[in-house]
Amino acid sequence: MRGPLNIILEDYDVSPVHGFLPHELPLQGLNSYYDDWEEAVRVLPANFARKTYRSKLDKLTVLSTSRLHTKGEWQRAYVLLTFMTHGYIWGGELPAEILPPCISIPILVVAERLGIPPTATAASLCLYNFKTSAPDLLTQPESLTTLHTFTGTRDEEWFYLVSTAIEARGAPIIPTMLKAMDAVRADNASVVTRSLQEFIVCVSDINALIERMYEECKPEVFYHEIRPALAGSKNMAAAGLLRGVFYDEGYGKGEWRQYSGGSNAQSSTIQFLDLVLGIRHFPTKIPGEEPREKDSFHKEMRDYMPGGHRRFLEIIQQVANIREYAQACALGEEITIAYNDAVISLSKLRDNHIRLVTRYIVMPARKSSANAMTGGLNLAVVSSGKNDVLSGTGGTQLIPFLKQSRDETKGTAIN
């Protein structure tokens, strides 16, 4: 019998109440010194649609980050600057290869402060990008409002809000599963079993939230209008970004950078669910090809999470013990049944995700010519036109990745 893990959530910017969402609601504005940033994002949807956004940003001066003090202010700055970044790159007839100093200089500082890449991520799109008048109803997307979008559509807002609600619903399972891991160390099978049963309910509720995506986010709008704005600068040679994007820091300084786009694979909640069950993922296998990645896409996506969340998940990966504990019990015992049911619930979630991706990406892609460019926006939608090698906004081979993730989840069951 060993003592408890004594993991303090706040040490990793994880809220005991809201999980990976901020403990305090996101700020809706910065002090007046940053009015130019606030205005630039306010007018983004209208100018993005007209492909005139770049000219607006080219007039901005470089603002110092020295007037950002609180955690909420740094997070707010990150939201504004990442929307400006993607708006600038994709807000023209052709993608921009050079990000000007008025964006590059401050976003590099802000991103380093938060331990996260200087590009749009699930954090800037969902975690820090909502408001509500009902803080007790964060799990209900209709009670939330998105602060900013690229397109100004309800579809884009709803896409973010469902993702935010999923993070909120996953929040209570974090302390529950930490208690379960402590219970393993204390050889308390009944607590572990109850925790796994709560895990199953949580995943079932998340599945129900995924189903709600269909209510107010239309697949054609997502594919042709929203998805291009979320695209990154990695593996985007076909769109014109041969070397990625040059982050110009002025006076001859700067660096070519390549980043994956905003993706729900960057959800810390979903990765936490994987890790506590001991599910392992590997580099995506494409038939007839060697794996392109050194690490699994899941692990790569951790680099796109806030620094504290990434460190938390790394700790969880090291101390996860539930699968080994259940495996040591006899088949048919309550704990092994609960563990396998938990694995099944998570594999159902991945089946649901595959259906979602099929409806929002694969089917619209079938209707579009492989080389078609609708109004220039689809320069960002890099696809070979073959359904089994469509790319996600995160830059991975989409369908093989999702199916392999599902199969790896199922394979974790104790038999």
The binding site consists of: 353
Tokens of 56: 């607006």
Cα atoms in the Cβ-side hemisphere of radius 13 Å centred on 386: 6
Q: List the binding residues for heme b.
A: 353
Tokens of 139: 């799990």
The number of beta carbons lying within 10 Å of the beta carbon of residue 410 is: 16
CA dihedral sign, ordered 125, 128, 134, 139: positive
Q: What is the DSSP letter of 164?
A: H
| Strands (E) located in 174-244 | none
CA dihedral sign, ordered 317, 322, 328, 331: negative
Q: Which of 132, 44, 26 is nearest to 81 (CA)?
A: 44
> How many residues are given for the chain?
415
Strand order, beta sheet including 245-250? 98-99, 245-250, 253-257
Specify the residue for token string 């402060």.
113
Q: Which of 102, 95, 93 is nearest to 56 (CA)?
A: 102
Q: Which of 85, 86, 393, 382 is nearest to 237 (CA)?
A: 382
> Which residues lie below 8 Å from residue 51, measured CB to CB, with a gap of 6+?
91, 92, 93, 376
Residue 25: exposed, middle, or buried by beta-carbon count in 10 A (0-12, 13-18, 19+)? middle
- Would you say 404 and 243 are in contact if contact means Cβ atoms under 8 Å apart? no
Amino acid at 44: L
113 SS3 class: helix
